């Protein structure tokens, strides 16, 4: 057997598992607003179950409705009414011999005042008026402002120390509240058992309430729940013992434990939990009766050491799992940024961990293990760690929408994909452009039995991803277009490289429809001096067309294009001035990606000038204007790189519309965006009614 460790049976307490693959407790934002499993959520889990996942851990499941809600569409086990709907989902998952445990969770200080101030009322309104949930997302923005700025209640924590990311008023829990919360967790576990699920997992990680009690950074209490490690662990250990007492010793209790908070990695020494203390916690958890430990790390304040950006290497934190495994006798589950089955097999074989947890990777490709078992490793769609999943979860929560995935736009649409009409009947669809939008559309159309013919003016696929992969530590971007090309070829797409078709060329093919995905082109602002020879667009730096070394370079724009261009320029010994018209670097960029790039750029000491706009470029200097005072300032520079973004390149679409009826625009050619917006565009156009 090729993957004998990965495919071998496993045991967690009394729970027998068919293999060593675990879907860890990723929150996907797909539950019903009342905390019950939606059809969408059930379909999401079933797609993973039928593709051989051994154990599914649900996303965060609240244990009370007063101050325990984190997201509008998360699961709940706060009352008996949640048992029957959850039981229905459990039964469906068990049909595939997959086990399921429910993760019990409380956010503590990592929540919003809105969820505490309004959630109980919102729930009551929703029960009386089900149609309210269609209105709810429109209420959230104004409701958030009102709660945060006028009268919102404080979020709760062991001590009144706010989270620097959430920035909410925070109060410490009373002893009676703590004891009541302990009962909430135990009662929720009783309901999980009554549903027929196979166990519970207690979320003692990622900066949520239980970890807030464990960490000396967030727990400053001087009573029985604070001070010594033994006292800080009392909240968690009382839960474990209480669940075992009420549900029985044979009912599995897992604990997701952050064994290192990684504050030391962001320059805050002697702060929070470090691995040495994590080992002591793991031993105490085992002694309390827990059946397994899911090893992880980080908090909201050290998020890149929990949900890693693309720069992190696979397996970078496997020392955490191996250290805990060598100190306890119960099974250890760990994620360890596993992308390939070879990596999972190796880490299981060498004893790093007992179970391999694949979170974002199973968002990207639910068939991961099926493909590995069948010898189709080349067919696996790899997660590129772009963090769009967590970014979109945060953005979409207020809209009542689930998270998304850059490489798998069918995420959350599993039921739809299982009924995808195969009615193409060999009809030809011409696709112009083999970037992410074109590749995704060609794959879906091929699966629908159309005949996609893809024209690409370059000699390779990828489009602008062939620029996005050039900055340091962006090699995983290659996986994106490599894997999409594999899927498109598998679906029967035909590729014609180094070809820009004319109208007459396309007329000879006589296509049923034409999809235009010609990408974007750099924005060149109308500024005096923009035509000088030392002024270049950022794409020329990334592509290697311009090799700039040991110069003083002004980079105009601090979006991801600007920052990544700066990083590449820094490698060549250039002195950098990053100019941003707004008052902060990287406006609109997801904070984890900004933190990741700036952690490396800062080592090069760039001069970041915010609140200034470029008004003139001269032979050896630039003139900036302060956006607040309107005063001008001059900086001496050798080279100016323009990185103010892209604009749609849709001239071909305009031309083709004059000659053909069914012409559709997608990707950056329609609206400049991210990888996820391009792939979603390709997916949506390829499944839309006009192509039926």
Q: Which phi and psi angles does 595 have, rounded to 5°?
A: -60, -40
CB atoms within 10 A of CB 164: 9
Give CA–CA dist 681/250, Å, rounded: 49
Q: Which of 358, 296, 284, 349 is nearest to 321 (CA)?
A: 296
Give CA–CA dist 49/238, Å, rounded: 33
Q: Which phi and psi angles does 301 have, rounded to 5°?
A: -80, -15
Of 208, 225, 512, 653, which residue is the catalytic one? 208
CB atoms within 10 A of CB 439: 35
Contact 283, 568 (CB under 8 A): no
Give CA–CA dist 649/646, Å, rounded: 9
Contact 185, 63 (CB under 8 A): yes
Across-strand partners of 15?
12
Give CA–CA dist 119/113, Å, rounded: 10
Give CA–CA dist 501/505, Å, rounded: 6
Contacts of 147 (CB under 8 A, 6+ apart): 112, 113, 114, 117, 118
DSSP-derived letter for residue 34 is T
Give CA–CA dist 216/263, Å, rounded: 12
Q: Which phi and psi angles does 61 have, rounded to 5°?
A: -125, 115
Verify whether residue 208 is a known catalytic residue: yes
DSSP-derived letter for residue 149 is I
Q: Transcribe 299-313 into DSSP letters.
A: -GGGGGGTS--TTSP
Contacts of 491 (CB under 8 A, 6+ apart): 442, 443, 444, 445, 446, 447, 452
Angle at 301 between CA 299 and CA 306, to 5 degrees: 40
Total length of the chain: 692
Strands (E), 158-225: 170-172, 199-204
Across-strand partners of 516?
432, 665
Tokens of 243: 């669940």
Edge-to-edge strand list for the sheet holding 639-642: 535-537, 639-642, 552-556, 575-580, 607-610
Contact 334, 351 (CB under 8 A): no
Coil, helix or strand at residue 659: coil
Q: Which position has the token pair 């103010």?
A: 644
Secondary structure, 3-state, 108-135: CCCCCHHHHHCHHHHHHHHHHCCCHHHH
CB atoms within 10 A of CB 374: 11
Active site members:
208
């Amino acid at each position: 057997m090729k993957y004998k460790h990965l495919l071998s049976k496993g045991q967690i307490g009394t729970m027998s598992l068919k293999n060593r693959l675990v879907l860890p407790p990723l929150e996907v934002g797909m539950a019903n607003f009342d905390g019950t499993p939606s059809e969408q959520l059930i379909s999401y889990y079933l797609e993973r179950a039928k593709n051989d996942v051994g154990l599914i851990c649900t996303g965060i499941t609240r244990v009370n409705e007063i101050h325990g809600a984190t997201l509008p569409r998360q699961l709940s086990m706060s009352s008996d009414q949640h048992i029957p709907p959850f039981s229905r989902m459990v039964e469906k998952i068990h049909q595939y011999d997959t086990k399921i445990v429910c993760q019990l969770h409380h956010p503590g200080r990592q929540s919003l005042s809105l969820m505490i101030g309004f959630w109980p009322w919102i729930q009551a309104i929703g029960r009386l008026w089900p149609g309210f949930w269609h209105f709810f997302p429109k209420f959230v923005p104004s409701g958030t402002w009102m709660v945060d700025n006028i009268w919102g209640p404080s979020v709760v924590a062991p001590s009144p120390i706010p989270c620097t990311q959430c920035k909410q008023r925070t109060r410490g829990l009373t002893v009676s509240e703590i004891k009541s919360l302990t009962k909430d967790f135990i009662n929720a576990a009783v309901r999980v058992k009554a549903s027929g699920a196979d166990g519970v997992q207690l979320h003692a990680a990622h900066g949520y309430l239980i970890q807030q009690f464990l960490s000396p950074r967030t727990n400053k209490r001087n009573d029985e729940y604070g001070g010594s490690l033994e006292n800080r662990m009392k909240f968690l250990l009382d839960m474990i013992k209480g669940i075992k007492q009420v549900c029985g010793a044979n009912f599995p209790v897992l604990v997701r434990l952050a064994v290192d908070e990684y504050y030391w990695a962001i320059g805050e020494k002697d702060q929070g939990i470090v691995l040495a203390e994590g080992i002591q916690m793991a031993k105490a958890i085992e002694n309390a009766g827990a059946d397994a430990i899911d090893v992880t790390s980080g908090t909201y304040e050290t998020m890149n050491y929990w949900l890693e950006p693309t720069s992190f290497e696979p397996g970078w934190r496997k020392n955490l799992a191996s250290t805990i495994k060598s100190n306890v006798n119960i099974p250890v589950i760990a994620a360890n940024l596993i992308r390939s089955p070879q990596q999972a097999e190796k880490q299981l074989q060498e004893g790093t961990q007992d179970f391999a947890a694949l979170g974002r990777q199973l968002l990207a490709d639910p068939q991961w293990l099926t493909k590995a078992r069948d010898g189709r490793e080349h067919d696996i769609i790899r997660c590129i760690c772009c963090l769009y999943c967590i970014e979109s979860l945060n953005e979409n929560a207020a809209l009542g929408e689930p998270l998304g995935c850059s490489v798998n736009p069918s995420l959350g649409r599993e039921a739809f994909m299982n009924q995808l009409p195969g009615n193409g009947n060999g009809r030809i669809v011409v696709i112009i452009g083999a970037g992410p939008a074109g590749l995704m559309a060609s794959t879906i159309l091929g699966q629908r039995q159309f005949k996609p013919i893809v024209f690409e003016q370059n000699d390779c696929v990828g489009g602008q991803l062939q620029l996005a992969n050039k900055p340091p530590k962006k090699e995983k971007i290659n996986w994106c277009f490599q894997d999409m090309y594999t899927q498109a070829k598998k679906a029967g797409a035909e590729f014609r490289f180094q070809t820009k078709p004319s109208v007459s060329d396309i007329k000879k093919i006589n296509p049923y429809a034409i999809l235009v995905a010609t990408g974007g082109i750099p924005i060149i602002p109308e500024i005096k001096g923009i035509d000088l020879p030392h002024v270049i667009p950022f794409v020329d730096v990334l592509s290697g067309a311009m090799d700039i070394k040991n110069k003083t370079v002004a980079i105009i724009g601090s979006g991801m294009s600007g920052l990544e261009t700066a990083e590449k320029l820094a490698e060549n010994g250039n002195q950098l001035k990053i100019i941003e018209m707004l008052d902060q670097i990287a406006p609109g960029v997801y904070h984890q990606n900004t933190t990741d790039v700036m952690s490396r750029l800062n080592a090069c000491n760039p001069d970041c000038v915010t609140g200034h706009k470029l008004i003139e470029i001269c032979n050896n200097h630039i003139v900036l204007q302060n956006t607040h005072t309107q005063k001008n300032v001059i900086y001496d520079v050798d080279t100016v790189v323009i990185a103010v973004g892209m604009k749609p390149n849709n001239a071909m679409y305009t031309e083709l519309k004059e000659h053909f009826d069914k012409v559709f625009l997608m990707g950056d050619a329609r609206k400049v965006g991210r990888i996820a917006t391009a792939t979603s565009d390709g997916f949506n156009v390829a499944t839309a009614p006009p192509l039926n």
